[in-house]
Amino acid sequence: RPQPGEVALFSVSSYACQRRTTLDNHNSNLTDALSLLAENAELSNEDGRGVAFRRAAALLKALPTQVISMSQLRGLPCLGEHSLRVIKDVLENGVSSEVESTKQSKRYKALKILTGIFGVGAKTADRWIREGIYNLEQLRDSGQTLNRAQKAGLEHYDDLNEPVTKAEADAIGEIVQKAVNSVLPGSEVALTGGFRRGKLTGHDVDFLITHPEEGKEVGLMPKVVAWLESQGFLLYQKTTRNSYLESKDGPARPASNMDRFERCFSIFKLTKRKEQESTQPEEQNDLKTEDVLRPHMQADTDQQLCELSKNYQMEAASHKIWRAVRVDLVVSPISQFAFAVLGWTGSKLFERELRRWAGHEKNMSLSSHALFDNTQNKYLRATSEEEIFAYLGLEYIPPSERNA
Ligand code: CTP
Ligand code: MN
Ligand code: MN
Ligand code: MN
């Protein structure tokens, strides 16, 4: 394929679910530019443009080496006119003028700040911007009515915009495991989302919960949530019940890509551990036993103890001994577990491409609940992700290579 004296051309499949995409990205200069434009399109409710930029970025993520010239891209799928223009700009000038002007725009900056609030989507942010609200201060001053999620999002804004580390994800995993085992012994917890794909940080932590005996998982979420709440682990939670059974359009043909599992969007209160604390000396977070005991050791009277305790509480608050972390919990019956794990592992584009492959190439409908073969008019049972890939006629791609 490569001509003598020419740089090697790449050969890449057009569906992201046919490709192995690790976190080792050789073209982040290009994919960062395209991802920002994708994000801007999504935040502006231009989903078509968003997907086009996401597909282009995903293709570049899968290339084995760095692209240095436009000629290397000849014949590659997924690269539309607009994306090619952006890539050319970055290759020739180091930056894309469209990306730079987007980053500087008042609207993009405001959309980023406002949708950084948990519970605020593109639509709400857009409405606020049209009302002249561009930042958190203006939002607070505006007297806008916020829902419960948005109130919590605003209250924990800084924490929730700080990336979650793998160590924090593991610490939360232990808590969830303990909660689940306490209310239903034998239950299983699986880490899904970006952390299952090997990412070192994430915007949240995703867990899937099941029980090996079908039906035992029914009603599990409210019990888990009650346990977590009683232990003081939750700052916010909203549980949605399973609506799968009562749905009319069939499990594999959801009205949207949203699944119907019993789920809980939550904000955890995670106590900082020593190894998770900031390394900066001025942000010393650790409280020693002597600090905790200090009020008791120093107080002569109850009133004095009360005063000293209050001081201690304020001190503890300023030391930030805990932080807020977004956590998604989902409960799946064991019969749907393989589909749920596949659906909740991501990346979002990889999932979208799997569904597109299933529909366009295999005449099948894939959801996080099931796989339906429209030709044979039947559901295809699976107990592992490997089986689902096999039904779809795809080579198995492990989670660490689904980072499209
Ligand atoms: N997902 C879903 N339904 C939702 C939200 C998410 O099926 N309502 C799926 C997504 O398709 C994705 C996975 O859950 O495959 C994880 O979503 P998310 O946490 O948003 O993304 P991550 O890949 O985990 O990335 P991050 O590190 O930013 O959390
Ligand atoms: Mn490599
Ligand atoms: Mn996630
Ligand atoms: Mn999530």
Superfamily in which the 341-401 domain is placed by CATH: DNA polymerase, thumb domain (3.30.210.10)
Share of the chain above pLDDT 90, in %: 80
Structural contact between residues 248 and 160, judged by C-beta atoms closer than 8 angstroms: no
Query: Does residue 286 have an active-site annotation?
Result: no
Q: Does 328 participate in catalysis according to the annotation? A: yes
**% of the chain exceeding 70 in pLDDT:** 84
Protein residue with least CA distance to atom 25, ligand 1 = 194
Query: Which residue has its alpha carbon closest to ligand 1 atom 14?
Result: 344
Closest CA to 327 of 148, 180, 206: 206
Residues whose CB is less than 8 angstroms from the CB of residue 260 and which lie 6 or more positions away in sequence, other chains included: 242, 243, 244, 247, 251, 254, 369
Ligand 1, atom 4, residue with closest C-alpha: 258
| Ligand 1 proximal residues by C-beta, below 6 Å | 193-194, 199, 202-204, 206, 258-259, 343-348, 351, 368
Residues in CB range of 243: below 8 A, 6 or more apart: 260
Ligand 1 pocket test: pick from 242, 328, 350 the residue with the most ligand atoms within 8 Å of its Cβ: 328
What pLDDT score does 258 carry? Answer: 76
Note the pLDDT tens digit of each residue in 290-309: 444 444 455 556 666 666 66
Q: Which atom of ligand 1 is nearest to the CA of 201?
A: 27
Higher pLDDT, 258 or 193: 193
C-alpha 356 – ligand 1 centre gap (Å) = 18
Q: Is the Cα torsion angle 24, 28, 30, 34 positive or negative in sign?
A: positive
The CA-CA-CA angle for residues 99, 102, 103, to 5°, reads: 85
For the domain spanning 16-102, the CATH number is 1.10.150.110
What is this model's ipTM?
Answer: 0.96
Sheet holding 234-240, edge to edge: 188-191, 205-210, 322-331, 262-271, 234-240
CATH T-level fold of 105-155: DNA polymerase; domain 1 (1.10.150)
| Contact (Cβ atoms closer than 8 angstroms) between residue 322 and residue 286 | no
Q: Are 260 and 254 in contact (CB under 8 A)?
A: yes
CA of 327 to the centre of ligand 4 (A): 7
The C-alpha atoms of residue 111 and residue 135 are separated, in whole angstroms, by 9
Residue extents of the structural domains in the chain = 16-102, 105-155, 341-401
pLDDT value for 10: 87
Nearest ligand 1 atom to alpha carbon 350: 15
Percent helix, strand, coil in the chain (nearest 5)? 50, 15, 40
Does the fold of domain 341-401 match that of domain 16-102? no
Tell me how long the chain is: 404
Mean pLDDT score, 392-399: 98
Report the distance separating Cα 353 and Cα 18, nearest Å.
9
In terms of phi and psi (left: phi > 0; alpha: psi -120 to 50; beta: otherwise), the region of 384 is beta
Range of lowest pLDDT (227-231, 276-280, 336-340, 394-398): 276-280
CB 72 within 8 Å of CB 8: yes
In this prediction, residue 285 carries a pLDDT of 46
Q: Are the beta carbons of 196 and 208 closer than 8 angstroms?
A: no
Residue 3's pLDDT band, with cuts at 50, 70 and 90, is low
- Ligand 1 atom nearest residue 348's Cα: 11
User: What is the per-residue burial (b if ≥16 Cβ within 10 Å, else e) of 350-375?
Assistant: bbbbbbebbeeebebbbbbbbbbbee
List, for residues 214-269, the tens digit of each pLDDT value: 999 999 999 999 999 999 999 999 999 888 765 544 544 544 567 899 999 999 99
Nearest protein CA to atom 27 of ligand 1, as residue: 202
Residue 87 CA to ligand 1 center (angstroms) comes to 27
Q: Annotated catalytic residue: which of 89, 206, 300, 373?
A: 206
Residue 2 pLDDT exceeds 90: no
What are the φ and ψ backbone dihedral angles of 402, each rounded to 5 degrees?
A: -105, 25
**Sign for the pseudo-dihedral over CA of 12, 17, 22, 26:** positive
